[in-house]
Amino acid sequence: MITADGGSRMGKKVLYKSLVDESLKLAQSPPEKVLIFRRGLDPDMPTVAGRDVDWHEFAAPHAGAQVPCAWLESNEPSYILYTSGTTGKPKGVQRDVGGYCVALASSMELIYCGHAGETMFTTSDIGWVVGHSYIIYGPLIAGMTTIMYEGVPIRPDAGIWWKIVQDHKVTVMFSAPTAIRVLKKQDPAYLSKYDLGSLRHLFLAGEPLDEPTHVWIAGALKKPVIDHYWQTETGWPILSAVPGVEQTRNKFGSPSFPVYGYDLQLLRESDASEAGPDEKAVVAIVPPLPPGVMSTVWGDDERFVKTYFTTFASKMVYATFDWGIRDRDGYYFILGRTDDVINVAGHRLGTREIEEAVSMHANIAECAVVGVADALKGQMPLAFAVAKDTSTLASPEGRKQLEKEVMETVDRQLGAIARPKAVHFVTLLPKTRSGKTLRRAIQALAEGRDAGDLTTIEDPAALEQLTSALAGK
Protein backbone atom coordinates (compact mmCIF):
# COMPACT_ATOMS: atom_id res chain seq x y z
CA MET A 1 0.00 0.00 0.00
CA ILE A 2 1.24 3.45 -0.87
CA THR A 3 -0.09 6.35 1.19
CA ALA A 4 0.79 9.71 2.74
CA ASP A 5 0.69 10.84 6.35
CA GLY A 6 -2.22 13.10 5.51
CA GLY A 7 -3.93 15.54 3.20
CA SER A 8 -5.47 18.94 3.63
CA ARG A 9 -8.93 20.30 2.96
CA MET A 10 -10.29 23.77 3.64
CA GLY A 11 -7.09 24.55 5.57
CA LYS A 12 -7.66 21.57 7.85
CA LYS A 13 -5.37 18.58 8.08
CA VAL A 14 -6.89 15.19 7.36
CA LEU A 15 -4.61 12.53 8.80
CA TYR A 16 -4.59 9.24 6.94
CA LYS A 17 -2.41 6.94 8.99
CA SER A 18 -4.93 5.89 11.63
CA LEU A 19 -7.49 5.25 8.85
CA VAL A 20 -4.97 3.10 7.00
CA ASP A 21 -4.08 1.15 10.15
CA GLU A 22 -7.74 0.56 10.96
CA SER A 23 -8.62 -0.59 7.45
CA LEU A 24 -5.64 -2.95 7.29
CA LYS A 25 -6.88 -4.56 10.49
CA LEU A 26 -10.17 -5.27 8.70
CA ALA A 27 -8.56 -6.37 5.42
CA GLN A 28 -8.71 -10.04 4.51
CA SER A 29 -5.39 -9.86 2.67
CA PRO A 30 -3.47 -6.92 4.09
CA PRO A 31 -0.36 -5.85 2.17
CA GLU A 32 3.02 -6.83 3.59
CA LYS A 33 4.42 -3.32 3.38
CA VAL A 34 2.98 0.18 3.67
CA LEU A 35 5.00 2.84 1.91
CA ILE A 36 4.37 6.23 3.51
CA PHE A 37 5.13 9.59 1.98
CA ARG A 38 5.57 12.01 4.85
CA ARG A 39 4.38 15.49 4.01
CA GLY A 40 5.13 16.72 7.52
CA LEU A 41 1.43 16.86 8.33
CA ASP A 42 1.62 14.33 11.15
CA PRO A 43 4.88 14.64 13.09
CA ASP A 44 3.62 12.21 15.76
CA MET A 45 2.54 9.53 13.29
CA PRO A 46 2.91 6.07 14.86
CA THR A 47 4.55 3.42 12.67
CA VAL A 48 4.35 -0.36 12.66
CA ALA A 49 7.86 -1.83 12.82
CA GLY A 50 8.72 -4.17 9.96
CA ARG A 51 5.65 -3.15 7.93
CA ASP A 52 5.77 0.62 7.46
CA VAL A 53 8.45 1.97 5.16
CA ASP A 54 9.36 5.63 4.78
CA TRP A 55 9.12 6.78 1.15
CA HIS A 56 12.20 8.98 1.25
CA GLU A 57 14.40 6.25 2.71
CA PHE A 58 13.02 3.71 0.26
CA ALA A 59 13.36 5.96 -2.80
CA ALA A 60 16.79 7.53 -2.12
CA PRO A 61 18.90 4.61 -3.46
CA HIS A 62 16.78 4.58 -6.65
CA ALA A 63 17.07 8.28 -7.46
CA GLY A 64 17.70 8.83 -11.16
CA ALA A 65 17.07 5.17 -12.02
CA GLN A 66 15.97 4.47 -15.58
CA VAL A 67 13.08 2.02 -15.64
CA PRO A 68 12.43 0.27 -18.95
CA CYS A 69 8.91 -0.05 -20.36
CA ALA A 70 7.08 -3.23 -19.46
CA TRP A 71 5.29 -4.45 -22.60
CA LEU A 72 1.84 -5.86 -21.93
CA GLU A 73 -0.68 -7.70 -24.02
CA SER A 74 -3.46 -5.20 -24.70
CA ASN A 75 -6.11 -7.09 -22.70
CA GLU A 76 -4.01 -7.16 -19.53
CA PRO A 77 -5.86 -5.38 -16.71
CA SER A 78 -4.70 -1.85 -15.91
CA TYR A 79 -6.72 -1.02 -12.82
CA ILE A 80 -9.85 -1.70 -10.81
CA LEU A 81 -12.13 1.09 -9.64
CA TYR A 82 -15.04 0.34 -7.33
CA THR A 83 -18.42 1.87 -8.09
CA SER A 84 -21.95 1.71 -6.72
CA GLY A 85 -24.98 0.06 -8.17
CA THR A 86 -28.25 -1.35 -6.95
CA THR A 87 -26.81 -3.77 -4.42
CA GLY A 88 -24.96 -2.91 -1.24
CA LYS A 89 -21.79 -4.45 -2.67
CA PRO A 90 -19.79 -2.13 -4.95
CA LYS A 91 -18.49 -3.60 -8.21
CA GLY A 92 -14.83 -3.58 -9.19
CA VAL A 93 -14.77 -2.05 -12.67
CA GLN A 94 -11.80 -3.62 -14.47
CA ARG A 95 -10.20 -2.00 -17.46
CA ASP A 96 -7.61 -3.17 -19.99
CA VAL A 97 -4.48 -1.34 -21.13
CA GLY A 98 -4.59 -1.28 -24.95
CA GLY A 99 -8.16 -0.21 -25.59
CA TYR A 100 -8.04 2.28 -22.74
CA CYS A 101 -4.91 3.93 -24.19
CA VAL A 102 -6.49 4.16 -27.62
CA ALA A 103 -9.71 5.67 -26.25
CA LEU A 104 -7.87 8.20 -24.12
CA ALA A 105 -5.42 9.19 -26.85
CA SER A 106 -8.20 9.79 -29.36
CA SER A 107 -10.42 11.62 -26.88
CA MET A 108 -7.55 13.93 -25.89
CA GLU A 109 -7.19 14.94 -29.52
CA LEU A 110 -10.75 14.93 -30.82
CA ILE A 111 -12.90 15.77 -27.78
CA TYR A 112 -10.68 17.75 -25.42
CA CYS A 113 -8.46 19.30 -28.13
CA GLY A 114 -5.36 19.05 -25.93
CA HIS A 115 -1.95 19.08 -27.62
CA ALA A 116 1.52 17.93 -26.60
CA GLY A 117 3.38 20.61 -24.67
CA GLU A 118 0.20 22.23 -23.35
CA THR A 119 -1.31 22.01 -19.87
CA MET A 120 -4.53 20.33 -18.71
CA PHE A 121 -6.26 21.09 -15.42
CA THR A 122 -8.82 18.55 -14.24
CA THR A 123 -10.18 19.52 -10.84
CA SER A 124 -11.35 16.04 -9.89
CA ASP A 125 -10.15 13.66 -7.22
CA ILE A 126 -7.44 11.34 -8.56
CA GLY A 127 -9.19 8.37 -6.95
CA TRP A 128 -12.28 8.94 -9.11
CA VAL A 129 -12.59 7.81 -12.72
CA VAL A 130 -12.29 11.37 -14.03
CA GLY A 131 -9.00 11.66 -12.13
CA HIS A 132 -7.69 8.36 -13.49
CA SER A 133 -8.59 9.18 -17.09
CA TYR A 134 -8.04 12.91 -17.27
CA ILE A 135 -5.64 13.91 -14.50
CA ILE A 136 -3.28 11.03 -15.04
CA TYR A 137 -3.42 8.83 -18.12
CA GLY A 138 -5.12 11.01 -20.77
CA PRO A 139 -2.98 14.14 -20.53
CA LEU A 140 0.23 12.15 -20.03
CA ILE A 141 -0.50 9.95 -23.07
CA ALA A 142 -1.11 13.18 -25.03
CA GLY A 143 2.26 14.58 -23.91
CA MET A 144 0.65 17.30 -21.84
CA THR A 145 1.51 18.69 -18.44
CA THR A 146 -1.16 17.85 -15.91
CA ILE A 147 -2.10 19.75 -12.78
CA MET A 148 -3.01 17.98 -9.55
CA TYR A 149 -4.77 20.37 -7.25
CA GLU A 150 -5.49 19.46 -3.65
CA GLY A 151 -8.23 21.51 -2.10
CA VAL A 152 -11.50 23.28 -2.78
CA PRO A 153 -12.26 25.95 -5.39
CA ILE A 154 -12.84 28.74 -2.87
CA ARG A 155 -9.70 28.57 -0.77
CA PRO A 156 -7.58 30.68 -0.28
CA ASP A 157 -10.20 32.53 -2.35
CA ALA A 158 -12.64 31.89 -5.19
CA GLY A 159 -10.06 32.96 -7.78
CA ILE A 160 -7.63 30.11 -7.14
CA TRP A 161 -8.62 27.99 -10.15
CA TRP A 162 -8.46 30.95 -12.52
CA LYS A 163 -5.08 31.95 -11.11
CA ILE A 164 -3.87 28.41 -11.86
CA VAL A 165 -5.21 28.71 -15.43
CA GLN A 166 -3.37 32.02 -15.87
CA ASP A 167 -0.09 31.02 -14.21
CA HIS A 168 0.21 27.65 -15.96
CA LYS A 169 -1.36 28.68 -19.29
CA VAL A 170 -3.97 25.94 -19.04
CA THR A 171 -5.60 25.19 -22.40
CA VAL A 172 -8.04 22.43 -21.34
CA MET A 173 -10.04 22.42 -18.13
CA PHE A 174 -12.37 19.73 -16.80
CA SER A 175 -14.58 20.08 -13.71
CA ALA A 176 -18.01 19.19 -12.29
CA PRO A 177 -21.25 21.21 -12.17
CA THR A 178 -21.32 21.27 -8.35
CA ALA A 179 -18.00 23.11 -8.23
CA ILE A 180 -19.33 25.68 -10.68
CA ARG A 181 -22.47 26.13 -8.57
CA VAL A 182 -20.21 26.77 -5.56
CA LEU A 183 -18.25 29.39 -7.53
CA LYS A 184 -21.45 31.02 -8.78
CA LYS A 185 -22.23 32.03 -5.20
CA GLN A 186 -18.94 33.91 -4.88
CA ASP A 187 -17.92 37.38 -6.04
CA PRO A 188 -17.92 37.31 -9.89
CA ALA A 189 -14.96 39.73 -9.88
CA TYR A 190 -12.67 36.73 -9.35
CA LEU A 191 -13.37 35.60 -12.88
CA SER A 192 -12.26 38.82 -14.53
CA LYS A 193 -9.19 39.23 -12.33
CA TYR A 194 -7.04 36.75 -14.25
CA ASP A 195 -5.95 36.37 -17.84
CA LEU A 196 -7.76 33.30 -19.16
CA GLY A 197 -6.54 33.79 -22.73
CA SER A 198 -4.91 30.35 -22.91
CA LEU A 199 -8.11 28.45 -22.10
CA ARG A 200 -9.94 26.89 -25.05
CA HIS A 201 -12.74 24.89 -23.44
CA LEU A 202 -14.19 24.01 -20.08
CA PHE A 203 -15.62 20.48 -19.93
CA LEU A 204 -18.10 19.48 -17.23
CA ALA A 205 -19.34 16.00 -16.30
CA GLY A 206 -20.47 13.75 -13.50
CA GLU A 207 -24.00 15.04 -12.94
CA PRO A 208 -26.65 17.03 -14.80
CA LEU A 209 -25.56 20.54 -15.75
CA ASP A 210 -28.52 22.83 -15.08
CA GLU A 211 -29.18 25.66 -17.49
CA PRO A 212 -28.61 28.61 -15.08
CA THR A 213 -25.18 27.24 -14.11
CA HIS A 214 -24.26 26.57 -17.77
CA VAL A 215 -25.37 30.05 -18.87
CA TRP A 216 -23.54 31.71 -15.99
CA ILE A 217 -20.17 30.01 -16.44
CA ALA A 218 -20.18 30.28 -20.24
CA GLY A 219 -20.93 34.01 -19.95
CA ALA A 220 -18.39 34.61 -17.20
CA LEU A 221 -15.56 32.74 -18.96
CA LYS A 222 -16.54 33.78 -22.48
CA LYS A 223 -15.36 30.33 -23.59
CA PRO A 224 -17.26 27.28 -24.80
CA VAL A 225 -18.48 25.20 -21.85
CA ILE A 226 -19.12 21.60 -22.88
CA ASP A 227 -21.41 19.31 -20.91
CA HIS A 228 -20.48 15.68 -21.51
CA TYR A 229 -21.81 12.44 -20.09
CA TRP A 230 -20.06 9.21 -19.11
CA GLN A 231 -19.61 6.67 -16.32
CA THR A 232 -16.94 4.92 -14.27
CA GLU A 233 -17.72 1.86 -16.39
CA THR A 234 -16.94 3.57 -19.71
CA GLY A 235 -13.81 5.47 -18.61
CA TRP A 236 -14.31 8.13 -21.28
CA PRO A 237 -17.23 10.11 -22.75
CA ILE A 238 -20.40 8.46 -24.08
CA LEU A 239 -22.16 11.67 -25.08
CA SER A 240 -20.25 14.80 -25.98
CA ALA A 241 -19.63 17.48 -28.54
CA VAL A 242 -16.52 16.54 -30.50
CA PRO A 243 -14.95 19.94 -31.24
CA GLY A 244 -11.76 18.37 -32.64
CA VAL A 245 -13.85 17.04 -35.52
CA GLU A 246 -16.64 19.54 -35.91
CA GLN A 247 -17.99 22.62 -34.14
CA THR A 248 -21.59 21.98 -33.16
CA ARG A 249 -24.11 24.19 -31.43
CA ASN A 250 -24.53 23.64 -27.69
CA LYS A 251 -28.02 23.09 -26.36
CA PHE A 252 -28.37 23.88 -22.68
CA GLY A 253 -29.06 20.80 -20.60
CA SER A 254 -27.78 18.46 -23.31
CA PRO A 255 -24.42 16.65 -23.48
CA SER A 256 -24.96 16.65 -27.28
CA PHE A 257 -24.39 13.45 -29.29
CA PRO A 258 -23.07 9.88 -28.99
CA VAL A 259 -19.30 9.81 -29.26
CA TYR A 260 -17.72 7.81 -32.13
CA GLY A 261 -17.32 4.17 -31.11
CA TYR A 262 -20.64 4.03 -29.26
CA ASP A 263 -23.70 2.47 -30.87
CA LEU A 264 -26.18 4.15 -28.55
CA GLN A 265 -29.86 3.28 -28.46
CA LEU A 266 -32.78 4.59 -26.42
CA LEU A 267 -34.88 1.58 -25.58
CA ARG A 268 -38.41 1.38 -24.19
CA GLU A 269 -38.40 -0.26 -20.77
CA SER A 270 -41.44 -2.38 -21.68
CA ASP A 271 -40.15 -4.26 -24.75
CA ALA A 272 -36.67 -2.99 -25.67
CA SER A 273 -37.99 -1.36 -28.83
CA GLU A 274 -36.40 1.90 -29.93
CA ALA A 275 -38.03 5.06 -28.57
CA GLY A 276 -39.09 7.90 -30.84
CA PRO A 277 -38.03 11.55 -30.60
CA ASP A 278 -38.63 13.18 -27.19
CA GLU A 279 -39.65 9.86 -25.66
CA LYS A 280 -38.07 8.92 -22.34
CA ALA A 281 -36.26 5.57 -22.47
CA VAL A 282 -33.28 3.63 -21.15
CA VAL A 283 -29.88 4.65 -22.55
CA ALA A 284 -28.23 1.46 -23.83
CA ILE A 285 -25.04 0.63 -25.70
CA VAL A 286 -25.16 -2.08 -28.36
CA PRO A 287 -22.11 -4.35 -28.06
CA PRO A 288 -19.28 -4.58 -28.84
CA LEU A 289 -18.45 -1.94 -26.25
CA PRO A 290 -15.96 0.67 -27.50
CA PRO A 291 -12.28 0.52 -26.53
CA GLY A 292 -11.61 1.77 -23.00
CA VAL A 293 -14.93 0.61 -21.57
CA MET A 294 -14.73 -1.91 -18.70
CA SER A 295 -13.75 -5.43 -19.66
CA THR A 296 -15.40 -7.16 -16.69
CA VAL A 297 -16.34 -6.89 -13.01
CA TRP A 298 -13.16 -7.81 -11.20
CA GLY A 299 -13.18 -11.47 -10.25
CA ASP A 300 -16.77 -11.98 -11.35
CA ASP A 301 -17.46 -12.24 -15.10
CA GLU A 302 -20.93 -13.55 -14.40
CA ARG A 303 -21.81 -10.49 -12.36
CA PHE A 304 -20.59 -8.31 -15.25
CA VAL A 305 -22.99 -9.98 -17.67
CA LYS A 306 -25.88 -10.19 -15.18
CA THR A 307 -25.57 -6.60 -14.03
CA TYR A 308 -25.08 -4.82 -17.30
CA PHE A 309 -26.53 -7.01 -20.05
CA THR A 310 -29.79 -8.46 -18.73
CA THR A 311 -32.04 -5.40 -18.39
CA PHE A 312 -33.96 -6.55 -21.47
CA ALA A 313 -34.88 -10.19 -21.97
CA SER A 314 -35.09 -9.82 -25.74
CA LYS A 315 -31.93 -7.80 -26.41
CA MET A 316 -28.43 -8.25 -25.07
CA VAL A 317 -27.32 -4.64 -24.72
CA TYR A 318 -25.30 -2.77 -22.09
CA ALA A 319 -27.62 -0.73 -19.87
CA THR A 320 -26.25 2.55 -18.52
CA PHE A 321 -29.05 2.66 -15.93
CA ASP A 322 -29.81 6.20 -17.03
CA TRP A 323 -33.01 7.54 -18.53
CA GLY A 324 -32.60 9.70 -21.58
CA ILE A 325 -34.38 11.34 -24.48
CA ARG A 326 -33.28 12.43 -27.93
CA ASP A 327 -34.90 15.49 -29.44
CA ARG A 328 -35.77 15.99 -33.10
CA ASP A 329 -32.35 17.53 -33.78
CA GLY A 330 -30.56 14.44 -32.41
CA TYR A 331 -29.46 16.03 -29.13
CA TYR A 332 -29.58 13.74 -26.10
CA PHE A 333 -30.71 14.70 -22.59
CA ILE A 334 -29.99 12.59 -19.49
CA LEU A 335 -32.92 12.41 -17.07
CA GLY A 336 -31.51 10.58 -14.05
CA ARG A 337 -30.93 6.98 -13.04
CA THR A 338 -33.26 4.04 -13.54
CA ASP A 339 -31.82 2.33 -10.44
CA ASP A 340 -31.22 3.26 -6.79
CA VAL A 341 -28.05 5.22 -7.44
CA ILE A 342 -27.95 8.86 -6.40
CA ASN A 343 -25.53 11.61 -7.30
CA VAL A 344 -24.30 13.82 -4.46
CA ALA A 345 -22.08 16.67 -5.64
CA GLY A 346 -20.92 14.52 -8.53
CA HIS A 347 -20.26 11.51 -6.26
CA ARG A 348 -22.04 8.32 -7.16
CA LEU A 349 -23.62 6.56 -4.18
CA GLY A 350 -25.91 3.55 -3.93
CA THR A 351 -28.84 4.15 -1.59
CA ARG A 352 -28.54 0.47 -0.56
CA GLU A 353 -25.00 1.08 0.66
CA ILE A 354 -26.19 4.03 2.74
CA GLU A 355 -29.07 1.93 4.08
CA GLU A 356 -26.60 -0.74 5.15
CA ALA A 357 -24.45 1.88 6.86
CA VAL A 358 -27.48 3.35 8.70
CA SER A 359 -28.45 -0.16 9.82
CA MET A 360 -25.01 -0.67 11.37
CA HIS A 361 -26.24 1.48 14.26
CA ALA A 362 -27.24 -0.90 17.02
CA ASN A 363 -30.63 0.75 17.55
CA ILE A 364 -31.81 0.73 13.91
CA ALA A 365 -34.13 -2.09 12.87
CA GLU A 366 -34.62 -1.07 9.25
CA CYS A 367 -34.46 1.96 7.03
CA ALA A 368 -35.00 3.42 3.58
CA VAL A 369 -32.72 5.98 1.98
CA VAL A 370 -33.71 8.05 -1.03
CA GLY A 371 -32.06 10.90 -2.93
CA VAL A 372 -33.79 14.27 -2.73
CA ALA A 373 -33.10 17.30 -4.94
CA ASP A 374 -30.61 19.78 -3.50
CA ALA A 375 -29.89 23.19 -5.04
CA LEU A 376 -26.12 22.98 -4.55
CA LYS A 377 -25.23 19.30 -4.55
CA GLY A 378 -27.75 18.07 -7.10
CA GLN A 379 -29.06 15.39 -4.73
CA MET A 380 -28.68 14.51 -1.05
CA PRO A 381 -29.54 11.29 0.78
CA LEU A 382 -32.50 11.39 3.14
CA ALA A 383 -33.08 8.54 5.59
CA PHE A 384 -36.24 7.10 7.12
CA ALA A 385 -35.47 4.72 9.96
CA VAL A 386 -37.31 2.39 12.31
CA ALA A 387 -35.71 2.25 15.77
CA LYS A 388 -35.54 -0.99 17.76
CA ASP A 389 -35.87 0.72 21.13
CA THR A 390 -38.32 3.57 20.64
CA SER A 391 -38.01 4.89 24.20
CA THR A 392 -35.05 7.03 23.09
CA LEU A 393 -37.37 8.80 20.65
CA ALA A 394 -39.80 10.03 23.30
CA SER A 395 -38.08 13.41 23.63
CA PRO A 396 -36.85 15.77 20.89
CA GLU A 397 -33.37 15.54 22.47
CA GLY A 398 -33.44 11.75 22.25
CA ARG A 399 -34.38 11.94 18.57
CA LYS A 400 -31.63 14.46 17.86
CA GLN A 401 -29.11 12.28 19.66
CA LEU A 402 -30.06 9.14 17.71
CA GLU A 403 -30.04 11.09 14.44
CA LYS A 404 -26.54 12.36 15.25
CA GLU A 405 -25.31 8.87 16.08
CA VAL A 406 -26.76 7.45 12.85
CA MET A 407 -25.03 10.19 10.86
CA GLU A 408 -21.74 9.42 12.58
CA THR A 409 -22.18 5.74 11.76
CA VAL A 410 -22.60 6.63 8.06
CA ASP A 411 -19.55 8.93 8.21
CA ARG A 412 -17.48 6.09 9.59
CA GLN A 413 -18.69 3.50 7.09
CA LEU A 414 -18.83 5.51 3.88
CA GLY A 415 -17.48 9.00 4.56
CA ALA A 416 -19.17 12.34 5.17
CA ILE A 417 -20.27 12.65 1.52
CA ALA A 418 -22.87 9.92 2.17
CA ARG A 419 -24.22 11.48 5.38
CA PRO A 420 -28.02 11.87 5.15
CA LYS A 421 -29.41 15.39 5.12
CA ALA A 422 -31.76 14.22 7.92
CA VAL A 423 -32.87 10.99 9.56
CA HIS A 424 -36.62 10.77 10.12
CA PHE A 425 -37.86 8.17 12.59
CA VAL A 426 -41.02 6.23 11.78
CA THR A 427 -42.44 2.96 13.06
CA LEU A 428 -43.09 1.47 9.64
CA LEU A 429 -41.91 2.05 6.07
CA PRO A 430 -44.15 2.14 2.99
CA LYS A 431 -43.89 -1.30 1.40
CA THR A 432 -45.72 -3.37 -1.15
CA ARG A 433 -47.53 -6.50 -0.03
CA SER A 434 -44.54 -8.49 -1.20
CA GLY A 435 -42.29 -6.50 1.12
CA LYS A 436 -40.59 -4.20 -1.41
CA THR A 437 -39.89 -0.70 -0.09
CA LEU A 438 -41.66 1.91 -2.22
CA ARG A 439 -38.59 4.08 -2.76
CA ARG A 440 -39.92 6.04 -5.72
CA ALA A 441 -43.02 6.99 -3.70
CA ILE A 442 -40.92 7.99 -0.69
CA GLN A 443 -38.69 10.08 -2.91
CA ALA A 444 -41.66 11.77 -4.58
CA LEU A 445 -43.20 12.69 -1.22
CA ALA A 446 -39.86 13.94 0.11
CA GLU A 447 -39.54 16.20 -2.93
CA GLY A 448 -43.13 17.41 -2.55
CA ARG A 449 -44.32 15.63 -5.70
CA ASP A 450 -47.28 13.35 -6.28
CA ALA A 451 -46.45 9.83 -5.03
CA GLY A 452 -48.15 8.17 -8.02
CA ASP A 453 -49.95 4.86 -7.90
CA LEU A 454 -50.02 3.57 -4.32
CA THR A 455 -52.52 0.76 -4.70
CA THR A 456 -49.84 -1.83 -3.99
CA ILE A 457 -49.06 -0.43 -0.56
CA GLU A 458 -49.48 -2.81 2.34
CA ASP A 459 -50.35 -0.33 5.09
CA PRO A 460 -51.36 3.25 4.18
CA ALA A 461 -50.53 4.33 7.75
CA ALA A 462 -46.87 4.24 6.66
CA LEU A 463 -47.57 7.11 4.28
CA GLU A 464 -49.23 9.19 6.97
CA GLN A 465 -46.19 8.70 9.18
CA LEU A 466 -43.88 9.67 6.36
CA THR A 467 -45.84 12.82 5.57
CA SER A 468 -45.91 13.86 9.25
CA ALA A 469 -42.19 13.15 9.62
CA LEU A 470 -41.46 15.31 6.57
CA ALA A 471 -43.66 18.09 7.90
CA GLY A 472 -41.69 17.91 11.15
CA LYS A 473 -44.64 16.81 13.25
- Interface contacts to ligand PRX, rule CB under 6 A: 83, 129-130, 205-209, 227-232, 255, 320, 322, 334, 337, 343, 348
**What minimum distance in Å lies between the beta carbon of 224 and ligand PRX?**
15
Q: Which of 208, 193, 189, 300 is nearest to 253 (CA)?
A: 208
Cβ-based nearer residue to ligand PRX, 205 or 364:
205
* C-alpha to C-alpha distance for 99 and 347, rounded to whole angstroms: 26
Cβ-based nearer residue to ligand PRX, 320 or 359:
320
* Cβ neighbourhood burial of 375 (10 Å; 0-12, 13-18, 19+): exposed
Cβ-based nearer residue to ligand PRX, 93 or 364:
93
**What minimum distance in Å lies between the beta carbon of 437 and ligand PRX?**
21
DSSP state of 435: S
**What minimum distance in Å lies between the beta carbon of 205 and ligand PRX?**
4
Cβ-based nearer residue to ligand PRX, 214 or 361:
214
The H or E element that residue 13 is part of is strand 12-15
* Cβ neighbourhood burial of 311 (10 Å; 0-12, 13-18, 19+): buried
φ, ψ for residue 262, nearest 5 deg: -105, 120
CA dist list (Å): 384 to 162, 344, 436: 42, 18, 15
**What minimum distance in Å lies between the beta carbon of 306 and ligand PRX?**
18
CA dist list (Å): 395 to 178, 366, 387: 37, 21, 14
Give the chain's count of helices (H) and strands (E).
14, 24
Cβ-based nearer residue to ligand PRX, 213 or 231:
231
DSSP state of 394: S
**What minimum distance in Å lies between the beta carbon of 189 and ligand PRX?**
29
**What minimum distance in Å lies between the beta carbon of 208 and ligand PRX?**
4
**Quick one: the chain helix, strand, coil %, rounded to 5?**
30, 25, 45
DSSP secondary structure letters along 399-425: HHHHHHHHHHHHHHHH-GGG--S-EEE
Cβ-based nearer residue to ligand PRX, 83 or 213:
83
Cβ-based nearer residue to ligand PRX, 99 or 346:
346
**What minimum distance in Å lies between the beta carbon of 320 and ligand PRX?**
6
Give the angle subtended at the CA of 165 by the CAs of 164 and 170, to the nearest 5°: 125
Helical segments of 222-329, H only:
301-309
Minimal CB distance residue for ligand PRX: 232
Cβ-based nearer residue to ligand PRX, 6 or 235:
235
**What minimum distance in Å lies between the beta carbon of 12 and ligand PRX?**
25
Q: Whats the size of the chain, residue-wise? A: 473
Cβ-based nearer residue to ligand PRX, 229 or 312:
229
Peptide bond into 288 cis (omega under 30): yes
**What minimum distance in Å lies between the beta carbon of 348 and ligand PRX?**
4
